[in-house]
Structure 1
């Protein structure tokens, strides 16, 4: 049961840091003010209200008793004195009877109840009160033997302005503190949000440059640490790229000499088959070196920019068709996304080449699908995936071996280097997405590529 209660409270709490921080500041203040209001309302206001109501009720009872005892010719004198000395307006309705009851109109305050209790104790006759007829006065009717006495008592005699001042102080202090808290936390959260955006963008290959440290000292420290980390990673990637470029040149130079030497060798019927085999081995070595270098380089130098995913798919499919593959494409007119086009082109090429090497038919489809988890790698608040499916009718990969096919140098199919799927997943995950292997409706393997929209 306590776990269920805590879980319910967690679901009710706001998710953002700013809302939670403001809530932490405001809730204790509101609780404190509620306690203060209760003490004032139940203590001070109650005592003052009873005393004011008792004073008005005593004056009404005194006037009623005078009218009951004094002859009719003295009533005008009583009315003048009551208006001058007691601030009460009087009128007498001879031979009238109080019928019905007036509906109360200020039940939120204790004034009516206190006045009725005080009148009941002092007047000792039938009476009623009217709080609705006059916004500035309370009409009190008292049943006397000769008729009904109408008393008009100003509300200021029953009401204290202290309540107004107290409520204004409560509301004003709450609004002032809320405004200060919101402004302060907005500045603090803005620095954290900028750090989160810069970290997410840098992780997705979009280098926004160093961020300006601001906010609290801990946030400034985190921003400075991020800037240092970004600089070290950028320097490492640059050094690795330069080193790999040199290695690529050093490896391709002897291969070029070997290819040239094979070309210049004398050919005959006896050596033609051996030379063809050597040439094929050379080409395979070049493909493997290119794959290894691409995997090690990780496409880390390319910057993200707006690109049309559908155009990239169409381009890669057209290249595969020129190589003799049967590739079908079903896609919308356009789907612009922030991408690293060369890296995504390499990823799609690896998937389509992997499919066409082991199948006769390849079908590619591009669409958008809803995201079940909006707080995934693409970032909170995104609700769609851009999905690219590559289906083939080949032998496929057993379900137990599909995840292992993504490991570098592990091939789930024969005649592969084991780097195509590893490179493809590395590229997609750098964009905040993922690649899944599933059973294809065509009978072979389906590679499902997901990119955040």
Structure 2
């Protein structure tokens, strides 16, 4: 019973060696492809070259193998058969002469008619077999033919001289030494076939690589145009849909999408500008009526309400506009931080700033100034000490603002980026519209970057701005 149970357990799909091997093979296959994908080039141009070159190399390798295996081996075998047949005929002629006769006529016939140089040596043991050559197709085929047609002890040297093959055959009372040209027994013109394959491959690659580069260029230009649009920069002036039909359709779709987005932004801005204008007119009349009322009523609180409403309208309009119409230009971080240092002294705040890398960056200047102003303005409002660190590396700008204020709870840090959201604790937004951080993140994302909040080493809040520059 124990043996039967063991057999049944071994045959179970989940625990049997066969089942484990079945699960092991797909795992190894997936692991192999992950390894291949890790080392594969990531760019489209390099991958396209591999798609062109890999099948060509595979095809030519198969053709070369078939040629070497079939044609080359067949031709070499037929040549070796002919040489061995000539040697066998010479041996027959030698053995038909009476002992002691002169074999000069046989030597002449072999040299003039068969292109073989022969010598008859005194009886002696054959040399010891030499090492087999690494690529021994001639050695192997010629040995087989001598064994099959002559069937006598022999010694063969195919590597001593690159152009000559030496063969020694043990006869009854003498040793026959034969020198034959390698080309008589070996298909030596295969290099022409290999050179032809390599030459045609080079010609094909010379044509394919420029053509492929010309097809990839429109895709790269489309990617650059999309990236520029994501960073809020204008489309390159030389961009137009070109290339294959699919690429042209993608380029046209991108331009149409950009036009629709810009038109939507313009319509939203125009609508809110009209609303703002109408409300400003009402507020102006309201303020005029209060001024005409004179001292009959207390207008201080009403004027404060009007100012708050005016500030709210400006904030709404700025948020809706998002500074999207501004072109990119040079922004001097050092000059801007110096102005913030002067403002910090007026506010009696501790302020330190440092810049690593070039202080000039390519952004939308007014929008980026508004972004920094909103973040650092909040720090001035709620903290006593502020530290600003700017790192301008190749292609990226990272600005870090830290303070020693009350900070923001981790669960509320994303909420403060939502429009019109105010915090009831921590940082009390007693003024404003609750749009400062929303506008700041909107500007950062329009540049292709973002803003994140974290805990500062100074005890307050740490804001990190990352934008391409």
Query: Which TM bucket (shorter chain)?
Result: 0.7 to 0.9
Q: Indicate conservation of the 8 Å contact 1:316/1:348, yes or no.
A: no
Q: Indicate conservation of the 8 Å contact 1:433/1:450, yes or no.
A: yes
- Corresponding residue for 2:447? 431
Q: Bigger CA drift: 85-94 or 69-78?
A: 69-78
Indicate how the Cα distance of structure 1 residues 306 and 59 shifts in structure 2: closer, same or farther if over 3 A, else same: farther
- Corresponding residue for 1:110? 137
- Corresponding residue for 1:421? 437
Q: Indicate conservation of the 8 Å contact 2:127/2:155, yes or no.
A: no
Distance 1:248 1:129 in 2: 105
Indicate how the Cα distance of structure 1 residues 344 and 63 shifts in structure 2: closer, same or farther if over 3 A, else same: same
SS in 2 for 1:74: coil
Distance 1:406 1:4 in 2: 42
Count of matched residue pairs: 435
1:229 is aligned, of 257, 264, 276, to 257
Q: CA deviation at 1:445?
A: 1.0
**Pair 1:138-2:154 in alignment:** no
SS in 1 for 2:390: strand
Residues 71-129 of structure 1: CA deviation (Å, up to 9, x unaligned): 56633322221111111123455465443333444x44622211122223334344333
Structure 2 residue ranges without an equivalent (≥5): 1-26
- Corresponding residue for 2:151? 124
Structure 1 residue ranges without an equivalent (≥5): 370-381
**Pair 1:17-2:44 in alignment:** yes
Distance 1:68 1:239 in 2: 111
Distance 1:94 1:64 in 2: 15
Q: CA deviation at 1:68?
A: 6.2
Distance 2:408 2:144 in 1: 89
SS in 1 for 2:143: helix
- Corresponding residue for 1:375? none
**Pair 1:154-2:154 in alignment:** no
**Pair 1:75-2:110 in alignment:** no
Distance 2:359 2:179 in 1: 78
Indicate how the Cα distance of structure 1 residues 255 and 315 shifts in structure 2: closer, same or farther if over 3 A, else same: farther
Indicate how the Cα distance of structure 1 residues 96 and 359 shifts in structure 2: closer, same or farther if over 3 A, else same: same
TM-score norm. by structure 1 comes to 0.82
TM-score norm. by structure 2 comes to 0.80
Q: CA deviation at 1:398?
A: 0.8
1:359 is aligned, of 363, 368, 383, to 383
Distance 1:386 1:8 in 2: 34
Q: Indicate conservation of the 8 Å contact 1:56/1:157, yes or no.
A: yes
- Corresponding residue for 2:407? 396
Distance 2:410 2:222 in 1: 40
Q: CA deviation at 1:47?
A: 2.3
SS in 1 for 2:465: strand
Distance 1:450 1:340 in 2: 14
**Pair 1:88-2:88 in alignment:** no
Indicate how the Cα distance of structure 1 residues 72 and 217 shifts in structure 2: closer, same or farther if over 3 A, else same: farther
Residues 298-338 of structure 1: CA deviation (Å, up to 9, x unaligned): 11011223444454444445445445443211222524433
Indicate how the Cα distance of structure 1 residues 33 and 332 shifts in structure 2: closer, same or farther if over 3 A, else same: closer
Residues 130-187 of structure 1: CA deviation (Å, up to 9, x unaligned): 3344332223333456665442211222233673454344434444444444333322
2:354 is aligned, of 330, 344, 347, to 330
Q: Bigger CA drift: 254-263 or 431-440?
A: 254-263
Distance 1:244 1:93 in 2: 114
SS in 1 for 2:225: helix
Indicate how the Cα distance of structure 1 residues 79 and 265 shifts in structure 2: closer, same or farther if over 3 A, else same: farther
SS in 1 for 2:161: coil
Q: Indicate conservation of the 8 Å contact 2:357/2:391, yes or no.
A: no
Distance 2:347 2:264 in 1: 37
Q: Bigger CA drift: 10-19 or 345-354?
A: 10-19
Residues 357-398 of structure 1: CA deviation (Å, up to 9, x unaligned): 1111111112268xxxxxxxxxxxx8x743211111111111
Distance 1:315 1:101 in 2: 94
Residues 406-448 of structure 1: CA deviation (Å, up to 9, x unaligned): 1111134322522111111111112221111111111111111
Q: Bigger CA drift: 322-331 or 252-261?
A: 252-261
Q: CA RMSD in A?
A: 3.4
